[in-house]
Amino acid sequence: MKKVLSTLVAAIVALSFSAVVFAAEATAPAADAAAPAVEKKEVKKAVKKHKKVKKAKKEVKKEVKEEAPAAAPAAK
């Protein structure tokens, strides 16, 4: 259960971080050529984190599905 909660918290943090990065990129004008390169790196990192979060969510759902049938007979 602790792992599930930490995964969900990590997902929320990663999604909010990626939203901030994308919003900053969309509204900030490119002052010079070096600044967009840095932002692209940040976006790539955010996308990589987002993919990890999606993978973790799938694993959590899979774990929950596996645990649910085991708990159901015990409730009867």
pLDDT, one tens digit for every residue, the chain (76 residues): 888 888 889 888 888 887 776 666 666 555 555 555 657 778 888 888 888 888 888 888 888 777 766 555 555 5
The rounded distance, in Å, linking the Cα atoms of 76 and 69 is 12
Q: What is the pTM of this model?
A: 0.36
Q: Identify which of 40, 51, 43 has the alpha carbon closest to the alpha carbon of residue 10.
A: 51
Any residues with CB less than 8 A from the CB of 36 and at least 6 apart, and which?
30
CA distances from 17 to 20, 31, 35, 46 (A): 5, 23, 18, 7
